[in-house]
Structure 1
């Protein structure tokens, strides 16, 4: 059972939980979802702080667009940093949260020791999303494709019955795009995870489509770890990252992982992260 505490920022109740001990790693995302993905072994080496952002908490009021800009998310992270008294920490962002983590490191580099970006494409533009779908259609095995075609037929009904959890239903039904084991059912991972679709739609659909992580890296001189899954069709192909030529960036491809190598290949993932952090 995780012990949750709260940080209030402009009325938003951002919960966080702390697991492990050692050098602090701040994980931006859902404080409910993300602790389920990392191994207990990692918590013996580092102190993980799992922090909500505004897309994963109930809104304190009727929201305006300016309530959920990427800048607001960055300032929430800074508010949390101050309250938690973090002066020299590692920031980690997975999937869309990579954009948040890198945006924070760009604005507040004085507090960031290293940056971990996992399973993101350089941009979330419509063009790139279509490129990922095309890659799946062209390269996925017949069995994987059949599993996807079966699972996705349930999505419309899921959303009709529970529209506020559209993001969650999509993540679950896209399992054949998300996991090396394309039959894996990730539904339990999302138990108890609240989603605010107004916030998520803007961040994933607009804010992350306008940004490019590789371009942003040019402004950051901190060590950056980019972790990718060979079978992560959500942000495929891994070759999107081939143009990286920054000396401060280490790229690792996990060969038997999809979107969650920390969960799918924990031993290899842990070893890579521990060695890189301790370099």
Structure 2
């Protein structure tokens, strides 16, 4: 059972929970969802702080777009940093949250020792999303495609019955795009996770589409761990990151060969080893 505490930022009740001991790693996303992905072994080495953002909490009022810009998310992270008295910490962003982590690190580099970016494409533009879907169509196995067609057929009905959890239903029904084991059902990972679709639609659909992580990394000199899954069709192909090569001396790029979108969950032993080695050497 996680022990939750709250940070109030402009009326938003952002929950956080702390697990483990050691150097702090702030994980931006859902404080309910993300503790389910990382292994207990990591808590022997580091202190993980799982922090909500505005897309995963009930809104305190009727919202306007200026209530959930990426700048607002960055300032929420800074509010949390001040309250938690973090002075030299690691920030971790997985999937779309990689954009949040990188934006924070760019704005407040004096507090960030290292950055961990997991399972993101360089941009979330519509072009790139189409490219990822085409890659799935061209390269996925027949069995994987058949599983996807079976699962996705339920999505429309899921959304019709429960429109406020559209993001969650999509994540679950996209399992054949998300996991090395394409039969895996991720529904239990999303139990109790609140989603504010107004906020999520803006961040994923507009804010992350306007940014490019490779461009951001080109002007950033702190150590970066870039973790990717070979079978992560949601942000495929991994070749989108080919320009991040040995000339980026501050970046360690690791491709997990038997993972989709969640290598920390799918290959915990390999993931833990790679992360701990990097933390010790960089």
TM-score w.r.t. the length of structure 2 is 0.99
How much does 1:219 deviate? 2.1
What do the CA deviations read for 1:52-89 (whole angstroms, capped 9, x no partner)?
00000000000000000000000000000000000000
What do the CA deviations read for 1:22-61 (whole angstroms, capped 9, x no partner)?
0000000000000000000001100000000000000000
Hey, what does 2:190 align to over in structure 1?
190
2:137 aligned with 1:118, yes or no?
no
Hey, what does 1:228 align to over in structure 2?
228
Matches within 5 A, 1:1-279: 1-244=1-244, 245-279=247-281
Describe the SS at the equivalent of 1:116: strand
What do the CA deviations read for 1:240-268 (whole angstroms, capped 9, x no partner)?
00011421111000000000000000000
How much does 1:114 deviate? 0.2
Q: CA RMSD in A?
A: 0.4
Query: How many residues are treated as equivalent by the alignment?
Result: 279
How much does 1:143 deviate? 0.2
1:246 and 1:108 mapped to 2: Cα distance?
Answer: 21
* Unmatched tracts of structure 2, length 5 or more: none
TM-score w.r.t. the length of structure 1 is 1.00
Describe the SS at the equivalent of 1:99: helix
What do the CA deviations read for 1:142-201 (whole angstroms, capped 9, x no partner)?
000000000000000000000000000000000000000000000000000000000000
